[in-house]
Amino acid sequence: MAGRKIVITGVTRGLGRALAEEFIAQGHTVFGCGRGGEGIFDLRLTHAAPHGFSVVDVANDVKVGIWAADVLGHGAPDLLINNAALMNEPKPLWEEEDRTFTQLVDVNLRGVANVIRHFVPAMIAAGKGVIVNFSSGWGRSVSAGVAPYCMSKWGIEGLTKALAEDLPDGMAAIPLSPGIIDTDMLRIAWADGASAYPKADVWAKKAVPFLLALGARDNGKSLTISGVPD
C-alpha cells in the first residue's frame, strides 16, 4: 500500500483536510484542491513536494482541466476521491433560492462529473485505479429541510453506479458514505447536535485504511466506512 498517488477534492477543511493529513502521515503522495486560498496556502507550507495543492473550484470545468493536466504530469492517481460538496441551510424546498440551489448542484454533481472527465481517462489508460465519490446517509434516505442535499447525494449514488458499468475490468467506482462526522458541514444541518459524533481527524484514522483496501471487487457497491455511524 506504500507510495500511492491520491487525488482529493475539497481539502481545505473537514473530511478532505483530515484525509490529506492522514494519507501523507502514512507515506502516500497527495494532490488536492479546494476553493479556499488560505487553506491551500497552509497546506503548501506544511506539505512540500511531492505533494501538491491548488486553488480550484470543481464547478468550473476549464479550471478542473488545467489542474488535472498538472497533476497527471506526475502520473495517473491510484485513488481519486470526490469529496468537495456543499450543504444547504435547512428549510423546506420551496423556500430554497434558485441561486443557492444551483450552487449546490454545480459543486455536488457537476463538480464530480468535471473531475471524472479530466482524471478517469488517464486512469483507464494506466489500467488501474479506484474512484470514490462521497455519498451520504442522505444519499440513501431523506429528512425534512435537506431536499437539495439529498437530491445531490442520491444523484451521486446513481452517477457512480452507472460509471461503474462503464469502467474496464480491474478498476472500480464506489459511492461511499463516510458516516456521520462532526464537521462544519454537519453543523449547518444539526448545529451542536453534531458534537455527539467523531471529529474528522479521528474519523480519518479509520477511513484511510478502509479507502486503501478498496479494489475492483467493490466496483459499483454502495459502501459505508466501517465502524462509523451512518
Q: Annotated active-site positions, please?
A: 149
Residues 6+ apart with CB under 8 A from 66: none
Please state, in angstroms and rounded to a whole number, the distance separating the CA atoms of residues 150 and 139: 6
- 176 pairs with which residues across the strands? 134, 223
| Contacts with 72 (C-beta within 8 Å, 6 or more apart), sequence order | 119, 122
Q: Note whether 109 and 159 are within 8 A (CB).
A: yes
Contacts 24+ apart (CB under 8 A), 49-56: 50/74, 51/24, 53/11, 53/20, 56/9
The candidate with the shortest Cα–Cα distance to 83, out of 170, 208, 169, is 208
